[in-house]
Structures are given as structure tokens and as C-alpha cells.
Amino acid sequence: MKHWGFSTKAIHLGIDPQNNHGATSIPIYQTSSFAYSQAEELAEVFDGNRFGYIYSRISNPTVTAFEQRINALENGVGAVATSSGMAAIFTVLFTLTSQGDEIVSSKSLFGGTFLLFNRVLSKYGVSVKYVDILDPESIKNAITEKTRALFLESIGNPGMDVPDIRKISEITRAKSIPLIADSTLTTPCLFNAKEHGVDVVIHSSTKYITGNGSTMGGVFIDLGTFEWESLDNKDLKNAANRAGSEMAFLNVARRNILMNTGACQSPFNAYLHCMGLETLELRMEKHCSNALTLAEYLESHPAITEINYPGLKDNRFHKIADNLFNGRYGGLLSFSLPSQKQCFKLINRLKLIKNLANLGDAKTLITHPASTIFHECTEEEMREAGVHEGLVRLSVGIEDVKDIIEDLETALGEVD
Ligand code: PLP
């Protein structure tokens, strides 16, 4: 099965029809808890001396199916699914840090991640040092003996910058800290995180993995490349001593953080993520080709002052994106109009494209980040993330591209 291609794995792994009455679609175990006839049996499962499900806040067979399927696509040692992408990010970072620790992070982040770092982690005594992720010297200088991870997005949302992840991983390896990448915009389909030196990869499965805007979820995968006992973290060292380094991070993440915060994924959502994965490769092809066509169209439109899409040949990240994402550049782009007023006029005149705060849907979506996703951020936080009042984000769907262009053409014609 290891030699299977991406879509074959995405369609077939995570379910054993022999043990599921021949079912080929993942069964939904819609149950909160699991019964054992003998008290000793359940006690053994609690002790970890016997495998078994206990309570769906810890694990559930449908959620396991999603974890196994995505883990196979990322070629990791295991995955933990969560209630949302944000829950995946906080579970990873709460696993790695204690009071007084530091994280080094890219400035170019999704607004919710900024707020988690600046409003929540800081409250618990973990500080985040922001660096220019395009400047290796600033990354090296920011890492101290208190740093427990470097965090970045494979493509910054909505800044659309692409960090040279392979080069950055050389720095994190030399400094013995794990490299954590949020690959929501690239999915395992475009970005082979393990091959490029990432240690833990995170996805909001709300987005392309589900692919139709129906479901919240998140997941993170340990790629098996980091020696967890080498990090200055008591829980990870204890877990590595108990059961070996390979599963230490995932065990602590599940048993200390996920279980105790209740950030678990629902079985029904896991089922929908599994269904989404089955068509991910096909959909990503169309997202990427539609986005490139639209970027080329928007680039030459007189109303637009700036377009950010790494697929464009003269984009400053084109070459890095080419290397990292195998000649595909994702379904998200952003562009600028002279003012917020013109962005609002454009959005209000669109008929097909939906104005909402999500991405990675089959439908094309538009968002004005400054007044929505980033509205709680300070001006400085927005500037750091490349957000300004004239910026519009477009999540390009998989409709017929001529219809998306027609909608934009009509609306842009009336923007002045
Ligand atoms: N990471 C990125 C890059 C995102 O764009 C988002 C949401 O838009 C998240 C994480 C958070 O995911 P969720 O909304 O599933 O919590």
C-alpha cells in the first residue's frame, strides 16, 4: 500500500471492509463511549496496557479512520484530529510549551492564529517572537534556549508570501527545534511537508479537505522527523522514556491537551473529511488551474493595483513555490483596489461569488480581510500580515472559470 498513489490512498485507506460488514464507505460511530463487559478490561484500556476506545473525547473509530487516511497522505507516524483548525494549532503549541517558553513565528499569518498567539498564548506566559520569515538571519537571531518551535504557514493567508521552507528547516534542524507548518492552503496534495523538512504539519480540514464549506475540523500530523526527547519539555521527555520518542508528541498531545480541553473532532465531521479526501486531488487541480486563469485575468485589469498569486511568472515567490509545490500554486489569491470603499462596491455587485469568511470551498468566495477576519487585530498586526483596507481575498472555486470571470468583469466594470 505504501507504493499507492495519492488518490488511491485517499480513497482506500482508513477502513478495513473485512471488519465492517463489507462497508466500503467509512462507518460513522456516533457514540460518546464504548462499553466493556469486564471491569478489568476497561481498567487495562485506561492504563494503556490494552488497545481500545473509551470515550469519543479521546478517540473514536471514525475519527481514527480520518487520522489514518490523512497520515498516509502525509507519510507521517500518526495524526490527531481536532474540532477545528484553530484547535489543531493550539493543541500543537500547548503540547510544546510551558510558561516562560517562546515560539518563533512568521508574521504572515491567518488572523485567528494571530489572535491565538497574541491574546491567548501570551496570557499563559508563552511569548511569540515574530520574524520576517523571508530573512534567515532574523530567524536565527530570534531563536533562544527558550524557543520550543518555529511556526509558519506554507503560503501566508492572505499575504500570499511563500517562505523557503527547505532553507528554514536547515535552521530549525541546526537549532534542534521542531518546524511546525500550517499547510491549510496547500494541502498534502500540493505540499509534501515531510520531504521539505517540516516536523509537524497542520491543516484546517474545514477548507479544501472537506471541499464544500459544510464542516469544521482540523488535524495535525507528526512526520516522525524530530527527536522529541531532545526538546526541553518535561512531558515529552517523560512520554519518550515511557513509550519511545516516536509516539511521544502524539501521546502528550492527545492525552494531556486534546483530552483535557475537549477539542475533539465529531465522528460525523470525520466522515465528511474522509469523503472530501477522496476527491481532493481532482478538486485541487481545478482550484489551481482556475486560480491561475483568474490571476492572469486580474493582473491585466486596469482597476486592480496589485495582485498576489505565486503562480504568476513575475511574482517574487514564483520560483520558491515552484520548488515546494511541484508546479501548482493553490486556489487562493489576493488583490488590491485603491480603497475599502471600492472593495465593498465590488463585493456588493457580485452575483455568483459569495461574500463570506471561509476558503477552500467548491464555490468561489470573496472576503475583505481588514473588516472581517482581521477586524479584532491592531493596525500593526494587520500590516505585519500584509493586510490593508484595499485588500480583497479570493478563494477560487471549481466552477466554470468563464462564469467566475464574467461575475468579476461585470462587478469590476462598475467600481470607480
Ligand atoms: N489556518 C489557516 C491558514 C486558515 O486559513 C484558517 C481559517 O481560515 C485556520 C487555520 C483556522 O481554521 P478553522 O477555521 O478550521 O479553525
pLDDT at 1: 72
| pLDDT tens digit sequence for 81-113 | 999 999 999 999 999 999 999 999 999 999 999
Average pLDDT over residues 214-237: 97
The residues that bridge with 307 in the sheet, in sequence order, are 335
User: Distance between CA 108 and CA 206 in Å, rounded?
Assistant: 20
| pLDDT tens digit sequence for 2-41 | 789 999 999 999 888 778 889 989 999 999 999 999 999 9
Amino acid at site 42: L
> C-alpha distances in angstroms, 102 versus 11, 112, 123, 182?
40, 19, 13, 18
The pairing of strands 365-367 and 391-395 is antiparallel
Ligand 1 centroid distance, CA of 311 (Å): 22
- pLDDT tier, 385 (very low <50, low <70, confident <90, very high otherwise): confident
Decide if 374 contacts 357 (C-beta within 8 A).
no
| Ligand 1 atom with least separation from CA of 206 | 15
Mutate to test the pocket of ligand 1, among 86, 120, 214 (most ligand atoms within 8 A of CB): 86
Average pLDDT over residues 141-147: 98
pLDDT at 380: 87
| Ligand 1 atom with least separation from CA of 87 | 16
Hey, what domains does the chain have and what are their CATH numbers?
A: 6-277 (3.40.640.10), 281-413 (3.90.1150.10)
| pLDDT tens digit sequence for 339-349 | 999 999 999 99
Ligand 1 centroid distance, CA of 110 (Å): 7
pLDDT at 18: 78
pLDDT at 19: 82
Angle (nearest 5°) at CA 218 between 213 and 220? 145
| Ligand 1 atom with least separation from CA of 184 | 3
Phi, psi dihedrals of residue 20, rounded to the nearest 5°: -130, 40
Average pLDDT over residues 48-59: 94
Eight-state DSSP code of residue 94: H
Q: Is the pLDDT of residue 165 over 80?
A: yes
136 alpha carbon, distance to own chain's centre:
23
Phi, psi dihedrals of residue 123, rounded to the nearest 5°: -65, -25
Mutate to test the pocket of ligand 1, among 106, 114, 115, 184 (most ligand atoms within 8 A of CB): 184
Q: Which residue has the higher pLDDT, 196 or 48?
A: 196
Total residue length of the chain:
416
| pLDDT tens digit sequence for 351-380 | 999 999 999 999 999 999 999 999 988 888
pLDDT at 243: 85
| Ligand 1 atom with least separation from CA of 218 | 15
Transcribe 10-63 into DSSP letters: HHHTT--GGGTTT--SPP----SB---SSHHHHHHHHHTSS----BTTT--HHH
Eight-state DSSP code of residue 266: P
Cβ count near 30 (within 10 Å): 12
Ligand 1 centroid distance, CA of 210 (Å): 13
Ligand 1 centroid distance, CA of 97 (Å): 21
User: Distance between CA 200 and CA 225 in Å, rounded?
Assistant: 9
Mutate to test the pocket of ligand 1, among 162, 207, 333, 387 (most ligand atoms within 8 A of CB): 207
Average pLDDT over residues 383-399: 95
Ligand 1 centroid distance, CA of 85 (Å): 5
pLDDT at 141: 97
pLDDT at 100: 97
Which residues sit with their C-beta closer than 6 Å to ligand 1?
A: 84-86, 110, 112, 153, 157, 182, 184-185, 204, 206, 216, 218, 359
Ligand 1 centroid distance, CA of 109 (Å): 10
Residue owning the nearest CA to atom 12 of ligand 1: 85
Residue where the block lists cell 463487559: 37
> C-alpha distances in angstroms, 223 versus 76, 194, 217, 324, 353?
4, 6, 20, 17, 37
| Ligand 1 atom with least separation from CA of 109 | 3
Q: Is the pLDDT of residue 78 over 90?
A: yes
Average pLDDT over residues 146-164: 97
Ligand 1 centroid distance, CA of 4 (Å): 29
Ligand 1 centroid distance, CA of 20 (Å): 33
User: Distance between CA 255 and CA 66 in Å, rounded?
Assistant: 19
Q: Is the pLDDT of residue 146 over 90?
A: yes
317 alpha carbon, distance to own chain's centre:
20
| pLDDT tens digit sequence for 256-299 | 999 999 999 999 999 999 999 999 999 999 999 999 999 999 99
Cβ partners under 8 Å of residue 68, min gap 6: 13, 14, 79
> C-alpha distances in angstroms, 183 versus 114, 223, 287?
16, 13, 16
| Ligand 1 atom with least separation from CA of 205 | 15
pLDDT at 15: 84
User: Distance between CA 67 and CA 202 in Å, rounded?
Assistant: 12
pTM: 0.97
Transcribe 78-131 into DSSP letters: EEEEESSHHHHHHHHHHHH--TT-EEEEES---HHHHHIIIIIGGGGT-EEEEE
Ligand 1 centroid distance, CA of 70 (Å): 17
User: Distance between CA 412 and CA 416 in Å, rounded?
Assistant: 8
Mutate to test the pocket of ligand 1, among 162, 204, 374, 394 (most ligand atoms within 8 A of CB): 204
Ligand 1 centroid distance, CA of 115 (Å): 12
Closest by Cα among 283, 269, 281 to 214: 269
pLDDT at 414: 75
Q: Report the half-sphere exposure of 161 (CA within 13 A, side-chain side).
A: 18
